[in-house]
Amino acid sequence: MNDIVINIKKVMLVFLILFITLISYLTYIYMFNSEKAVASTFNQRLWAERNKVLRGTIYDRDMKALTKSKKTSQVSQKEQYLQGEIFAHAIGYMDPIYGLAGLEKKYDAELMGSEDSLVTKFFDFNKKEEEKVGNGLRTTLNSKLQTAAYKALEGKRGAVVAMNPKTGEILAMVSKPSYDPNNLGADWKGIVANKNMPLINRAVSGLYPPGSIFKTITAISALENIPNVTNRTFDDNGKLYFNESTSLQNFDGEVMGNIGFRAAFLHSSNVVFGSLGIDLGNNGLKDTAEKFYFNKDTPASGLTIENSKFPSYKNYEKGNIAQSAIGQAGVLVTPMEMALVTSTVANNGIMMKPMLVKEILSSKGKSLEKIQPIQLGEIMSKKTASTMKDLMKGVVAEGTGKGAAVPGITVSGKTGTADHKGDASKQVAAHSWFIGFAPYENPQIAIAVIVEEGGVGGGVAAGITRQLISDYLK
Partner 1 sequence: MANISWIMKYAIIAIIYLIIIFALRIMYKDIKGGGKKKTVIKKTMGLEVIERGENFNLRVGAVIPINNEISIGRKADNLLILGDKYVSSEHARIYRKNTDYILQDLGSTNGTLINKKRVKDRVGIKKGDEIKIGTSIFKVIG
Partner 2 sequence: MESIKEERKLLRYTYFLCIVLFVNIFFIGKEGLDKGALMMGAIICILFAYSHFIIRRFFPDGDKYILLFSNVLAVIGMGMLYRLDSPVALKQLIWYTVGIAVFILVVVLFPSLSNFGKYKWVYLVCTLILMSLGSFFGKEINGSKNWIDIAGFSFQPTEFGKLSLVAYLATSLQYYGKNIKEKSEFIKIKALIEPGIVVMVSLGFMVYQKDLGSALLFFAISVTMLYIATSKFRYVLICLLLFMIGGFISYKLFGHVRQRVLIWGDPWKYGYDEGLQLVQSLISIASGGLFGTGLGLGYPKMVPVVQTDFIFAAICEEMGLLTGFAILILYFLLFYRCMRVPIYGKDNFSRLLAVGYSTMIAAQVLVIVGGVVGAIPLTGITLPLVSYGGSSMIVTFFSLGILQKISEDGQSYE
Provide the binding-site residues for partner 2, judged by CB under 8 A. 1, 3-8, 10-12, 15-16, 18-19, 22-23, 25-27, 29-30, 33-35, 37-38, 40, 42-45, 48, 74, 125-129
Which window, 115-123, 146-154, 225-233, 331-339, contacts partner 1 (CB under 8 A)? Answer: 115-123
Q: Which does 228 bind (CB under 5 to 8 A by kind): partner 2, partner 1, none?
A: none
Longest Cα separation, the chain:
132
Tell me if 129 contacts partner 1 by CB under 8 A.
yes
Nearer to partner 2, 74 or 246 (CB): 74
Tell me if 316 contacts partner 1 by CB under 8 A.
no
Burial of residue 130, with CB atoms counted within 10 A of its CB: 0-12 exposed, 13-18 middle, 19 or more buried: exposed
Q: Please report how many Cα atoms fall inside a 13 Å half-sphere around the Cα of residue 454, on the Cβ side.
A: 29
Q: Which does 186 bind (CB under 5 to 8 A by kind): partner 1, partner 2, none?
A: none
Nearest C-alpha neighbor of 336 from the set 366, 297, 363, 371:
297
Which window, 38-46, 62-70, 120-128, 262-270, contacts partner 1 (CB under 8 A)? Answer: 120-128
Please report, as a single letter, which amino acid is at residue 455.
G
Q: Which does 121 bind (CB under 5 to 8 A by kind): partner 1, partner 2, none?
A: partner 1
Q: Which does 423 bind (CB under 5 to 8 A by kind): partner 1, partner 2, none?
A: none
In the complex, least distance from residue 4 CB atom to partner 1, rounded to whole angstroms: 15
Nearer to partner 1, 120 or 425 (CB): 120
Contacting partner 1 (CB under 8 A), which of 49, 62, 124, 131?
124
Contacting partner 1 (CB under 8 A), which of 122, 227, 244, 245?
122
Q: Which does 29 bind (CB under 5 to 8 A by kind): partner 1, partner 2, none?
A: partner 2
In the complex, least distance from residue 126 CB atom to partner 1, rounded to whole angstroms: 9
d(CA 269, CA 250): 6
Tell me if 32 contacts partner 1 by CB under 8 A.
no
Nearer to partner 1, 52 or 383 (CB): 52
Contacting partner 1 (CB under 8 A), which of 9, 45, 50, 121?
121
Beta strands in 44-109 (DSSP E): 53-54, 58-59, 67-71, 77-81, 93-95, 99-101
d(CA 281, CA 321): 7
Nearer to partner 2, 5 or 424 (CB): 5
Nearer to partner 2, 10 or 382 (CB): 10
The H-or-E segment that residue 210 falls in is none
Beta strands in 251-391 (DSSP E): 257-260, 350-352, 357-361, 367-370, 375-378
Nearer to partner 2, 35 or 154 (CB): 35
In the complex, least distance from residue 122 CB atom to partner 1, rounded to whole angstroms: 5
d(CA 391, CA 415): 12
DSSP assignment of 161-182 equals: EEE-TTT-BEEEEEEES---GG
Q: Which does 122 bind (CB under 5 to 8 A by kind): partner 2, partner 1, none?
A: partner 1
Interface with partner 1 (CB under 8 A), residue total 7
Q: Which does 124 bind (CB under 5 to 8 A by kind): partner 2, partner 1, none?
A: partner 1
Beta strand 257-260 pairing with 247-249: unpaired
d(CA 435, CA 342): 7
Query: What angle do the packed helices 382-397 and 215-225 form, to 10 degrees?
Result: 140
d(CA 90, CA 85): 10
Angstrom CA distances, 383 to 60, 223, 224, 285, 332, stand at 36, 9, 9, 19, 28
Q: Please report how many Cα atoms fall inside a 13 Å half-sphere around the Cα of residue 73, on the Cβ side.
A: 6
d(CA 77, CA 30): 32
Contacting partner 1 (CB under 8 A), which of 32, 42, 125, 316?
125
d(CA 352, CA 164): 9
Nearer to partner 2, 129 or 244 (CB): 129
d(CA 43, CA 2): 54
Nearer to partner 2, 96 or 394 (CB): 96
Q: Which does 34 bind (CB under 5 to 8 A by kind): partner 1, partner 2, none?
A: partner 2
Q: Which does 26 bind (CB under 5 to 8 A by kind): partner 2, partner 1, none?
A: partner 2
Residues that bind partner 1 (CB under 8 A): 118, 121-122, 124-125, 127, 129
